[in-house]
Amino acid sequence: MKSRKIFVIIMFILLIFPAFAGEIDKGASEVTKDVNGILFGFIEFLQWTITGVMLIVAILGIFPEIFSSGKPPDLATVFMKFIQAAFIIGLTWAIGDFIFWIFGANIDFNLIL
């Protein structure tokens, strides 16, 4: 008697599951889009924050060179600080865009299937 109940339950699940499979897939893709949107927004916030901080650090690092008393500013040091800031900013944006491309923001799963 027990195996008959199990058989009926398994058959019921197998017959009902395909009816709800589309809804499960649609719900999962909506949740994935929401999570990706939040993560990509956070990555973009980090990119802009690092850009601003690096510009401030570069500018504050140049002030002592320009306003040092008694000697002319060393242009190589000034340009080197700008190049370092540009490298870090560029690397930040490249990594953020790479993550964005890999996880495929705003990809419609219906187009893939």
Q: Rounded distance, CA 39 to CA 27, Å?
A: 18
Q: Rounded distance, CA 101 to CA 91, Å?
A: 15
**How confident is the prediction along the chain (113 residues), in pLDDT tens digits per residue?**
567 787 878 877 777 766 665 666 666 667 777 777 788 888 899 999 999 999 999 989 888 878 776 778 788 888 888 899 999 999 999 998 888 887 765 555 555 55
Specify the pLDDT at position 92.
Answer: 92
∠ CA 93-100-56 to the nearest 5 degrees? 20
Specify the pLDDT at position 46.
Answer: 92
Specify the pLDDT at position 49.
Answer: 95
Phi/psi region, residue 105 (left: phi>0; alpha: psi -120 to 50; beta: rest), is beta
Specify the pLDDT at position 83.
Answer: 92
End-to-end CA distance of the chain: 43
